[in-house]
Amino acid sequence: MDDTIQSLLIPFADAITAVVFLAIPVGDASLPLILLWLLAGGLTFTIVLKAMPWRSAGLSLKVIQGRYTSRKDPGVLTSLQSLMTDLGGAVGLGNIGGVAIAITIGGPGAVVWIMAGGLLGMAVKMAEATLGVKYRVVNSQRDTSGGPMYYLSIGLKEQGREKLGKVLGAAFAIFAVGGTMGAGALFQSNQTAQQIVATTGGDGSFFSGSSWIIGVALAIGAGVVIIGGISWIGRVSSKLVTIMAAIYIACCLLIIFSNLSTIPAAAGEILRGAFQGEAAVGGVIGALMIGVQRAFFSNGAGLGTSGMAHSTVRTSKPATEGFVAMWSPFVDSVVVCSMTALAIVTSGVWRADDAGDGVVLTSQAFATVHAAFPVVLTICVMLFAFSTMLAHSYYGKKALGYLFGNSKKAENIYSALFLVIIVLGSAGTVASVTALADSLLFLMAIPNLIGLYLMAGVVRREILGFHRDVREGRIPEVPLDDRYGGLGPGIQPDEDDAEGSEKVSGSR
């Protein structure tokens, strides 16, 4: 059955990849135009927002603590839950398998560009989340719909570009349906299956040639949570992300410290590869290309997913979620990805003749410390994949629901298809699944960034205005007994019933 699934996936993946990753020659390498598009977005919004994500950590932490959120505000999740949902969709197997793929193809130097992509992505995520709240539709006090399809259609209509907004909104929703299935179902189930097969005996594993069984098990687990909707997804993600990140980072640090003597040489390899060019394909440009590609695939900056995750937050101030969402690319690409990269490079497994693909290479790095470590990695892989599946299932179903007028039936159909794709992805090859997932996901950046550019002025006013008003005392902190959620004392997430059913525009 695995061979049948692969024979269907490979030609489809090749065709889609050829279109999405149309490239221009740069020296010995080819530079995909879609990567230039994403890089341009990161640079543009870092400048437009005056590098705000890099200088507002203090205010951001206050927002996450719920100091500017009232329990009377519309929405469902706390800022912390929305961040964890966003991180659940971002911190996935792109951090484990994707980084390994980047090192295999682009050399250790790709790590520097993964981190650079994460730093630039912070401003883009800030913009997406702010617009996601500003132009969300509040169906009732505790039921909202938001994301790029809404801020493209509603936001551009305000600028007199109604037709363009409708076209871009619909295009994004269509691409999001395919992109979330590719990155959230195909890639996650594939890399999970690869790791389980490798850990249970490789070619001699019971699952070898029958990895679709793993896909079925993942689909059942995901289906149970998906049925509960965004509230369940937010709660499960807030716990999963904390647990899996702590376990994974601790393991990576153990690998790094067990190879302490190799750290100077590893750091030298990473820097030389980034700026002098030691990539297997294309030298410096090759390292930059694969590094940025893996960074944006992993953290999702420019793809619009933060606009959906944060549109569910209970708040009346759109900019608050911009100051929360900015952490996602930093944690994902600068912290977690760098841990994976250092573990692989310091262990030296990437140079071995029997070096594996994707997550298998990371597993080989873990095995250098103790034979049981790949089992720990397998647990991390399952948690990473599961959290990403949950977040992307929500993004995709809201996108399809938008195309059919917020139809709950359409959303349920998407959820069913998503679970089927999980099974198909578990049986595909690494190359075909990675190419297809990248292609489908990156298509979302085209309409999303067009809209962000056109609404850059709105984003700038919201973000800089909120920062200025807080600093000058015009926006006071919410009284302690009225705060919603957060990390410290105050009112915690409650179970209050939906209040009202009138459909109104979002928080503006």
Q: Residue 358: pLDDT above 80?
A: no
CA distance 419 to 428: 15
Mean pLDDT value across residues 378-399: 85
pLDDT tens-digit series, residues 24-48: 877 666 778 888 898 999 999 999 9
Q: What is the pLDDT of residue 260?
A: 87
256 Cβ partners below 8 Å, 6+ apart?
Answer: 263, 339, 342, 343, 346
- Closest by CA to 287, choosing from 473, 109, 489, is 109
What CATH code would you report for 2-475? 1.20.1740.10
Lowest mean pLDDT among 313-322, 346-355, 476-485: 346-355
Please, what sign has the CA dihedral across residues 296, 302, 304, 309?
positive
- State the Rg of the chain over Cα: 22
Q: What is the pLDDT of residue 2?
A: 54
Give the rounded percent of residues in the chain with a pLDDT score beyond 90. 32
pTM: 0.84
The two tokens of residue 353 are 């003749």
Mean pLDDT value across residues 185-189: 83
At residue 498 the predicted structure's pLDDT band, cuts being 50, 70 and 90, is very low
The two tokens of residue 365 are 């790095």
pLDDT tens-digit series, residues 201-240: 877 887 777 888 988 998 998 888 887 777 777 777 777 7
Three-class DSSP category at 505: strand
Q: What is the pLDDT of residue 197?
A: 85
Q: What is the pLDDT of residue 45?
A: 97
Tell me which residue has tokens 């904390």. Answer: 242
